[in-house]
Structure formats: structure tokens, C-alpha cells
A and B are shown apart, each in its own frame.
Chain A
């Protein structure tokens, strides 16, 4: 049978009208909370409780509650910090980089992905702040005069760069996300029935009316925010990687770290986006907006970044051997064959081998397989940070101080607790905020095959083209017209 590829895959299926988009997205905001949502929130709150208890233990009894020791002074917390920050990066990639590249498919997933960024950065920030031991003095990281008992901060330190990078990243992402939400809050406000909802969404929508002048400025602001967020997201993980790369620890002191970390961040971030989207689209019945095409595209990005990460692992190994530095060579042999071999090989399997399965079309388009794969990748990326940090530290230059690191129950509690914090925030977001950017989805609605142009004017130029077709496909074609299978 002859196969004709469409010029563009439909971005939204189901022949939606503008009003349908509003209805579908506002449905869960306006409806009473359902049982599934309540059940999920209770589980998340239970884990949030674990988090609060672990934080209480850490603050009341001190950092001694953690499994750190003299040799491994930095392990579980920094692993989790880098893991969470990395997850956040996919949200910015979707909202900023894909906007600059005019990837229209991003419009239905960018809201939720950006929310994920913000919540992931909140979770990430917990670890360095708690590791301070006295979080109430956290403001000491900012350049304040030494009447507080210290000198100026050290601007030569990557840890200070991190302070600036993470706080800029968090606030910029928050503002970007909120500005995008304003028009959608206005939509909810204008539909709201209850007096509380009306006032609440009126306050949130900042008096947005959708006037053409506002939209024009809004688009300018979005474009510039995307333009500054793109180098910002690259700089953030570059700086995170410099926490390690500027030290002289074998296994850390490598120039490959910045691009390798950025690729890893996007890799794990897309895995998390997939995990969240696969659940969200089913729970909130958004299958027409987050289509199989979206899932396949995200899978492809995951595969590409996963392959970059794989190449980076091999390059690191090769350079260790090629450098002829004994300590560097040992660090890598120790990673693969030392006492933490299981962590190393988990990382290799999860991050290098599993994303290659995405080459197979059936895997790319399968919801259960994608879901499993996304979880595996997140586990793998957690192990990557654990391997880089713990295996480099636990056997340092001085064999007499070689030790093993194992987390305490409090360490584990804080980690699973941040998952609780993350999902609590995400579930609240999904209930009270529009999970899909309605305004932006409406702009791409006509790009879809099954919503042909509804143009009815009398422009002579338009009459030259065959009017009832879009990209060579009849406007009234069925939804799955010339799909590959």
C-alpha cells in the first residue's frame, strides 16, 4: 500500500474547537476533587510527613544523623541535589529552547513541565540548605557585610556560583511560568461560578483581559524570557558540574563535565516529564493534547541525550587510561570493579543500554514500556550522581582513610521525603492550575490535520490554493488519516 507521510503530525487530535480546549483543561480545575486525586495526595502527604520528621531529626540532633564520615563528607545530599536540579532542566528546555526552535508540539506539555522544574528546584534546594546544619543562617551565602561575623563571600568558589545560578534559575523559571499562567487564569476567572473562585482567580490573573496590545507585549516578553533562559539553563548545570570539576579529586577533575552534566540533566528531566505526563494525560483525560506523537518525540530526545551521556561515560574511561595519571586510572577501575561496582553497572545499564531501546518504533509508541523506561532512566541518573560522588571520594589519595559510605534511615527519609514534597506540590498544581497552556494550544489548533482552516473570507490569494486541504491532507480527513501503521 502506498504510504504518504503528512507534512506535520497533528498536534491536537479529536477535532477540538477552541471551546473544547477550554472545557477539557478547565474541567478538573472546576470539578470537585476526585477520589483518585485525594488518594494520590494522601500518599504524597505521607511521604511529606517522612520528610518533615527527617528534617526535624537533622536539625535537632545535627548532621551526625546522616551517614557522612571524614572521608566521604559529601554524598547522599549532593547526589540528590544534582539529581533534582537535573530533573528541573527538561522543563526549561521545553519552555525555552523548543520555543526558540519553534517546536509547536511543546505547547501542550510546557506548562506541566515548567511546574515540574519549579518543584524540582525547590526539592533540590532542600539538600544544600539542610547540609548547612544551621539553615536559619542560610542568608550567609549572600554577599552581606561582615557585621554578620564573616567576610564577604568568596566569588572564586563554584559553590557560591551555585547560589547565584540556582536562585536566578528558580526566580526566572517562576516568573516565566507565572506570566504564561496569567491568560489561563483569566479564562478560569471568566468561567468561575463560586464567589471564592472568582476572587481567587481574579487576583491570580492580574486583571488580564486579552487585549491585542497585551498579547503583543506578552509575546515579546515570552520570546526574550526564552532567549535568556536558554543560556541560563546551560549555565546552571555547567556550574553544578564545576562544583566537582574545579576540584582536584580523581574522577571529578575533568573538562568534559559541563556538557556531560547538561546532557544528563536533560536526559533525566525528560524521563521525569514522561513519567508525569503519562499519568497526567490519563488521570485528567488529556489524551488528545498529550498525544502518542508527543510521547514519541520526548522518547527521541531522551534517546539522544542518553546517547550523549553514554559517549561521555566511555570518553571519561578512555581519557583516564590515556592521561597516564595513576590516581585517575584507579578511580575509574575502582568505579567499575570496586566495592561499588553494582552502582556503576546499574548506571551503565539504565542510562546507556535502556534508552537505546527507543530506536524500536514499537517501544517508542508504547505507553507501558515508555513508563517503565522513564522510571529506569531516573533510577540510572540517580546512580550516575552517586557513582561520580561516592566512588571518587571513598578511596582518596590516602589509603589509610579509605572507607565505605552507607546512608542512614534519616538520609533515605529525606530523599523519599522530597519525592513526597514534589508530588504534593505537583498534585496541588494539577488540581488548581490549568495543566495545559490553553492559550498556546489554541494557537496551534489549526496546525492539526483534522482541524482544517476555517477561513471563510474572500482573499483572492487564498482561492489559488485548494482551500479545503491542509498540507495536502483533506480537512475532513479522519483523525488517524495516514498514520504510519
Chain B
């Protein structure tokens, strides 16, 4: 499916932040904003919901902890109990290090895999971008347009709010 976008190009993140506020206030829906680095407070300005990744991370960590405890208690306590240094079969204090490490292991990898999956980030042969400068020094505001959009007005709105350029671009998304 091919989509058409109006791209407002900004040179500075403070200008962009104000532009986001004003453009949204004018009732224009912002499709996406591309920036070269994370900008403090941009999620609130764009109305992006707070990520629930921390909850997922906590869940993965608990899974890791449960798995580690089960593994050690089952292996040394039930499957093949052995007396090691006269200690009890289920010597919980000695199980702390491995339990901790596996908690961290599961938290980290579970969360990172989730992050890449939900963000649809995976290796691709080529990556189409709306404006290549958005990974360098430009802040790009993409607004989806169609035949009924008043381009002149939109362009004026963006320029009034500090956009240094306003471009049009088509992008095929599947």
C-alpha cells in the first residue's frame, strides 16, 4: 500500500517540540516523528503511551527466578541427591548466585526480544526511510496526506511553526 506524506523538516528539537504542540492543536494528525536522537518529553507531546516494557521485564525476571530455583532444587534435591561438603541437598543460600544470574538473564533477553519484536526491528536488506537526514541532524515530522488535503495550508502551518523545508514523499509499506 502506498501512502503519501508531507514532511516538515526541522533543524532544532526545541522548535520541533513547539511545532508538535501547535500542529496537534490545529487539528492535524501527526503520522510519525523521526529524530536523530531521543528527545525528552516528545512522548507526552505526541501522546505516545508509556511503554509497558518494564512490566514485561519484571514478568520475565520472575520467570527466570522460578526457573532457576526449580532447576536447582529439582536437580540436586530430587533427581540425583548427593551430599556435597556435608551440606543439605537443598542448600538455598548456595543457590542464590545462580538464581540471581538467571533472573537477570531472563529479564534482559526477554525484554530485548520483546522490544525488537513489537517495534518490528529485524535485519533487512534495504531500509526505506522518508528522509535520510533524519538519522543525521534533521527532525522530520511526517503527516499523512491524500487528495482532499489542503497542501498549501498544511505547508503554511508547518513553516509558521519553524519548519525549514516542507517536502512531499510517497512510501510503499507492506
A235 in contact (CB, < 8 A): yes
Instruction: Name A443's closest neighbour in chain B (CB-CB).
Output: B37
A77 to B61, CA, bound (A): 34
Known: A213-B48, A224-B57. A190 touches B101 (CB 8 A): no
A210 touches B36 (CB 8 A): yes
* Cβ contact within 8 Å between A165 and B48: no
- Inside 8 A of A187's CB, which chain B residues have their CB? 36, 135-136
A window 183-230: CB within 8 A of B: 183, 186-187, 189-191, 198-199, 202-221, 224-225, 228-229
Interface size on B, residues (CB 8 A): 67
Q: Which residues of A contact B165 (CB under 8 A)?
A: none
CB-based contact A221/B38 at 8 Å: no
Which of B76, B107, B108, B134 has most A Cβ within 10 Å? Answer: B108
A418→B135 CA distance, assembly (Å): 37
Chain B residues with CB below 8 A from A203, complex form: 123-125
Q: For the complex, is A154 an interface residue (Cβ under 8 Å from B)?
A: yes
A218-274 interface (Cβ within 8 A of B): 218-221, 224-225, 228-229, 231-232, 235, 239, 242
B82 to chain A, nearest CB (A): 7
Closest Cβ of chain B to A135, distance in Å, is 22
Decide: A207 and B136 in contact? CB cutoff 8 A. Answer: no
**B residues less than 8 Å from A231 (CB atoms):** 100, 104
B119 with A152: CB separation less than 8 A:
no
**Which single residue of chain B is at the shortest CB-CB distance from A199?**
B125
Are the CB atoms of B100 and A225 closer together than 8 Å? no
Chain B residues with Cβ below 8 Å from A215 are: 35, 37-39, 42
A480 at the interface (CB under 8 A from B): no
Residue of B nearest to A224 (CB): B57
Is there contact, CB below 8 Å, between A210 and B84? no
Tell me the nearest residue of chain A to B73, going by C-beta.
A155
| Complex alpha-carbon distance, A18 and B57, angstroms | 33
Q: Is B5 interfacial (CB-CB < 8 Å)?
A: no
Q: Which positions 93-119 of chain B face chain A at CB distance < 8 Å?
A: 94-95, 97-98, 100-102, 104-105, 107-109, 111-112, 115-116, 118-119
Q: Which residue of B lies closest to A166 (CB)?
A: B101
Query: Which residues from B are CB-within-8-Å of A168?
Result: 101-102, 104-105
Judge whether A353 is part of the interface by a CB distance below 8 angstroms: no
Report Cα–Cα, A143/B79, bound state, in Å: 12
Contact at A235–B100, with CB atoms within 8 Å?
Answer: yes
Interface string of B35-56 (1 = CB under 8 A from A): 1111100110010100101100
Contacts of A228 in B (CB 8 A): 57, 61, 104, 107-108
Contact B97 A161 (CB under 8 A): yes
Distance in angstroms from A188 CB to nearest chain B CB is 9
Residues of A within 8 A of B53 (CB): 217, 220-221, 224
Q: Which residue of B lies closest to A445 (CB)?
A: B37
Which B residues touch A19, using CB under 8 A?
Answer: 136-137
- Say whether B51 contacts A190, CB under 8 Å: no
Interface string of A152-196 (1 = CB under 8 A from B): 111110101100110110011001100100110011011100000
Q: Are A221 and B111 in contact (CB under 8 A)?
A: yes
A191 touches B104 (CB 8 A): no
Instruction: Provide the bound-state CA to CA distance between A187 and B138, in Å.
Output: 12
Q: Is B28 located at the chain interface by the 8 A CB criterion?
A: no
Rounded to whole angstroms, the CA-CA distance of A474 and B105 in the bound complex is 48
Does A440 touch B at the CB level, under 8 Å? yes
Q: How far is the CB of A452 from chain B (nearest CB, A)?
A: 12
B84 CB to closest chain A CB, in angstroms? 5
User: Which residues 121-159 in B have Cβ within 8 Å of A in the complex?
Assistant: 121-127, 129-130, 132-137
User: Closest residue of chain B to A173, judged by CB?
Assistant: B108
The verdict on A17 contacting chain B, using a C-beta distance below 8 Å, is yes
A335 sits at the interface (CB 8 A): no
Contact B121 A182 (CB under 8 A): yes
Q: Tell me if A220 and B35 are in contact (CB < 8 A).
A: no
Residue numbers in A under 8 Å from B76 (CB-CB):
152, 154-156
**Of the residues B34, B35, B112, B133, contact of A221 by C-beta under 8 Å:** B112
B36-A442 in contact (CB<8A): yes
Q: Which residues of B contact A276 (CB under 8 A)?
A: none
For residues 6 through 50 of chain A, which have their beta carbon under 8 Å from a beta carbon of chain B? Answer: 17-19, 22
Let me know if A151 and B82 touch, CB within 8 A. Answer: yes
Report whether B137 and A209 are in contact in the complex, using a CB–CB cutoff of 8 Å.
no
Q: At the interface, yes or no: A146 with Cβ under 8 Å from chain B?
A: yes
Bound state CA distance, A172 and B101, in angstroms? 11
B42 to chain A, nearest CB (A): 5
Q: Are A202 and B54 in contact (CB-based, < 8 A)? A: no
Cβ-closest chain A residue relative to B79: A152
For B54, list chain A residues within 8 Å (CB).
220, 224
8 Å CB contact of A191 from B61, B136, B162: B136
- Nearest CB in chain B: distance from A364 CB, A: 31
B71 touches A225 (CB 8 A): no
Pick 16 A–B contacts, CB within 8 A, sort by A.
Answer: A18-B137, A143-B71, A151-B82, A152-B76, A154-B76, A172-B108, A179-B112, A190-B136, A203-B123, A209-B130, A212-B34, A217-B115, A217-B119, A455-B15, A456-B162, A459-B18
